[in-house]
Amino acid sequence: MLTAYLDDSDAENAVALSIAGYVAEEEGWAIFEKFAENVCTEFGVDVLHCREFDYRQKCFRGWSVPNTIDFLEKIGDAMLAGKLLFGVSRSVPKAHYKAQKLTLNIDHNTSAYCHGFATIAHSLRYDEPYGVTQRVETEGVAFKVESGHKNNDDLARYIAEQTGKGFLHQNTTIEFVEKASCRAIQIADLYAFYSRRRANRWSSTQGKIKIFPDNLQLHWENRIPHYTGYIEEPFRTATVEGSGMQFQVKGIVTAI
């Protein structure tokens, strides 16, 4: 079964919050875990937390640039060994989302965090570029999201509603996992962190100023596809083929 590990990244002064992660076969994730664990043991990494990695804190203290590059490249090798299919990320502009909630007739209990998750779930089911729509339609997806977020109940409610209405396959599930429990959720953390940074830069320049690529662009995006999106317009009515039912989750997404 296809399994998606997703994590979020937010900051008080950030324009956007991001949720991101990777999709692979369940068996592929087991292979990735084995290879990634060997890499982390080699480099003395207990938990791969991107803020600590980026600021060279805790187990990353004193790391040189060559050491950092070598580590990222070897984690990339582990991703290839596990045959990860792709990464997907959505960044939600917080102020704009809040304004839209006040003006549109939508569920005011749906957080921006949940909306970002919903657009990913919707995209896996309906957007062809990922190449998994048929499988997601007939088999569902196992979502594994980092535990501890205050709005995780929103995500569980969304999955229950969407599977109940037939928008997502009934076998679609969601589980909340601890950061230290696996390397899969930790690489999702890296992707979410750099997605948020990229979204903030893109928002401030509207994509007009080219900025030196981040670690993901330099070391991982040349390995597997990454679909990094900024939700310009949080809501747009979509129609489900066949049933004709309408719902609002996707929005207008710009690749960044």
SS (H, E, C) 21-51: EEEEEHHHHHHHHHHHHHHHHHHCCCCCCHH
By the 8 A CB rule, do 140 and 169 touch? yes
Domain 2-255 of CATH type 1.10.3720.10: no
| pLDDT for 240 beyond 60 | no
Beta bridge mates, 208: none
Domain ranges of the chain: 2-255
Q: How confident is the model at residue 1 (pLDDT cuts 50, 70, 90)?
A: very high
Measured CA to CA, the distance from residue 136 to residue 155 in angstroms comes to 18
C-alpha dist (Å) from residue 155 to 138, 149, 211: 21, 10, 33
pLDDT band at residue 210, thresholds of 50, 70 and 90? confident
Lowest mean pLDDT among 8-22, 42-56, 89-103: 89-103
Task: Grade residue 63 by pLDDT with cuts at 50, 70 and 90.
Answer: very high
Q: What is the largest CA-CA distance in the chain?
A: 57
Q: Name the residue among 227, 230, 222 with its Cα closest to residue 251.
A: 230
Rounded to whole angstroms, how far apart are CA atoms 198 and 61? Answer: 24
Confidence of residue 244 (pLDDT cuts 50, 70, 90): low
Residues 6+ apart with CB under 8 A from 212: none
pLDDT tens-digit map of 97-148? 888 777 655 555 688 999 999 999 999 998 888 899 999 999 999 999 999 9
